[in-house]
């Protein structure tokens, strides 16, 4: 009698465990989540013309790509702004451009809408909505976000943040 109760209890536990496992979502094969927020990489507050890089650079630990979003908050004139993602080559100790946004032209005292730049292997680059850009490439081990603010006699407030893609 005791072995029959143990057997039935064991079967009930195995059934409950199988149901719980079947209901749980499958994790990605390599154990990383599909996305991870890197956070704000560049924040410009009353920035005059300059080249701004996200420093320190970002270490990539097994992510295939990244999407960065840019938002123009305010401007006191008519500047331009171009965002890019750069990779680092350790052998030459040099930064190289992987992908770049279009150049955004500011209208005085207004904001520009949220735009994105994606670097990911195999991403479709031809069917993006206006202002968004993509480059089919794998994100290197070390990378950074770069913002080039052009024009004269103004100040700009903008922000760029990124999310890893697996």
Residue 18 lies in a domain: no
Residue 106: burial class (beta carbons within 10 Å; 0-12, 13-18, 19+): buried
- Say if residue 128's pLDDT is above 90: no
Question: How many residues in total does the chain contain?
Answer: 166
Residue 13 lies in a domain: no
Give the mean pLDDT of 139-152. 91
Among 144, 143, 72, 136, CA closest to 108: 72
Residue 21 lies in a domain: no
Residue 129 lies in a domain: yes
Tokens 């079967």: give the residue: 11
Residue 77 lies in a domain: yes
Give the mean pLDDT of 42-70. 87
Q: What CATH number is attached to the domain comprising 123?
A: 2.60.120.1110
Residue 4 lies in a domain: no
Residue 16 lies in a domain: no
Provide the residue range defining the domain that includes 78: 30-165
pLDDT at residue number 162: 92
Give the mean pLDDT of 8-31. 42
pLDDT (tens digit per residue) in 78-92: 888 899 999 999 999
- Say if residue 141's pLDDT is above 50: yes
Residue 14 lies in a domain: no
pLDDT (tens digit per residue) in 99-124: 999 888 877 777 777 889 999 999 98
- Say if residue 76's pLDDT is above 70: yes
**Number of structural domains found in the chain:** 1
Question: What percent of the chain has a predicted confidence (pLDDT) above 70?
Answer: 79
Among 76, 124, 75, 134, CA closest to 102: 134
Residue 56: burial class (beta carbons within 10 Å; 0-12, 13-18, 19+): exposed
């Amino acid at each position: 009698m005791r072995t029959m109760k143990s057997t039935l209890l064991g079967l009930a536990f195995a059934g409950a465990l199988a149901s719980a496992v079947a209901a749980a979502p499958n994790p990605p094969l390599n154990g990383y989540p599909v996305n991870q927020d890197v956070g704000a990489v560049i924040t410009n507050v009353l920035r005059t013309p300059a080249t701004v890089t996200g420093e320190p650079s970002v270490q990539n630990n097994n992510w295939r790509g990244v999407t960065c979003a840019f938002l123009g908050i305010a401007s006191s004139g008519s500047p331009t702004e171009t965002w890019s993602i750069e990779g680092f080559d350790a052998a030459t100790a040099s930064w190289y451009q992987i992908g770049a946004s279009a150049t955004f032209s500011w209208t005085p005292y207004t904001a520009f809408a949220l735009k994105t730049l994606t670097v990911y292997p195999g991403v479709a680059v031809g069917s993006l909505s206006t202002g968004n850009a993509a480059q089919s490439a794998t994100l290197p081990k070390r990378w950074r976000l770069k913002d080039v603010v052009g024009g004269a006699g103004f100040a700009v407030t903008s922000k760029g943040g990124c999310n890893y893609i697996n």
